[in-house]
Structure 1
Amino acid sequence: MRILLLVLLLLAMAATAYVLVRGVIAMASGKDVTGEQQQNYMRKRVLFQGIAIVIVILILVVAGQAGK
C-alpha cells in the first residue's frame, strides 16, 4: 500500500511540476492576451498540489497505523 501511495505521490508531484513549467512558458510567450490559458494552468497546478497533499496525508496515516 505504501509503495502504491509513493508512486501516486511521485506522479502528482511530476504533474504539478509539468503544469508549472507549461504555465511559465505560456506566460513568457506573451501570446495569451486575456490570461485565460494561464488561469487554466494555475487551476490545474493547484489541483495537482491538492492531490499531492492528500496523498501525503494518506501516507502519514498508513505509517501511523503500521507503527501501532
Structure 2
Amino acid sequence: MANDDDSTWLTTTQAVTLLPAVTPRTLQRWAQKGSVQVQVLASGRYRFRRSDVEKLARERQS
C-alpha cells in the first residue's frame, strides 16, 4: 500500500498531521458525529481514509 494512494488508511495521529490546529480527540469527535468517515477496528482504534482527511483539510481552508 503506497503512502500517496488515496485509499491509504491513516491512524488518528497520522490524520491530524494533515489537519492544522486539530487534536486527535477533536478528529475522533467529528468521526463519532459523522462529519468525517471512519473505520473503527475491533480494538476500538480509528482509521481514516487519506482522501477523506485531505478533503476535510481543503474544506477547512476555505
Q: TM-score, normalised by structure 1?
A: 0.25
Higher strand share: 2
Larger Rg: 1
Q: TM-score, normalised by structure 2?
A: 0.28
Q: Which has the higher contact order (CA 8 A, sep 6+)?
A: 1
